[in-house]
Amino acid sequence: MDEHQLEIATIKLQDLVIELLDDGMSPMAVAGIIQASATKMYRVMLDDKEFEELMGTVIKSSKQLHNDTLH
């Protein structure tokens, strides 16, 4: 996937998120659905060790987050 394809995919996902929020869905529900879907995809594509390492990285990085806006 090149940078342009990644940008297009990001815009499409953001548009869907905005549509769901505009339809009244809870931001927490939308975030949960996206997170669960990503986790399921990783679970299918990675072996056990790779998956566990990725989840460990996610946990570590989440502890380093502050209330700053991420772009």
User: Using one digit for the tens of pLDDT, what is the confidence trace for 16-70?
Assistant: 999 999 999 999 999 999 999 999 999 999 999 999 999 999 999 988 876 555 5
pTM of the model: 0.74
Residue type, 37: S
Asked whether residue 11 carries a pLDDT value surpassing 80, the answer given is yes
Task: Output the pLDDT for position 67.
Answer: 58
Domain locations in the chain?
Answer: 25-62
Task: Output the pLDDT for position 69.
Answer: 56
- Count of helices and strands (H, E) across the chain: 3, 0
- The number of residues in the chain equals 71
Residue type, 34: I
59-to-10, 29, 64 alpha-carbon distances in Å: 23, 20, 9
More confident residue, 15 or 64: 15
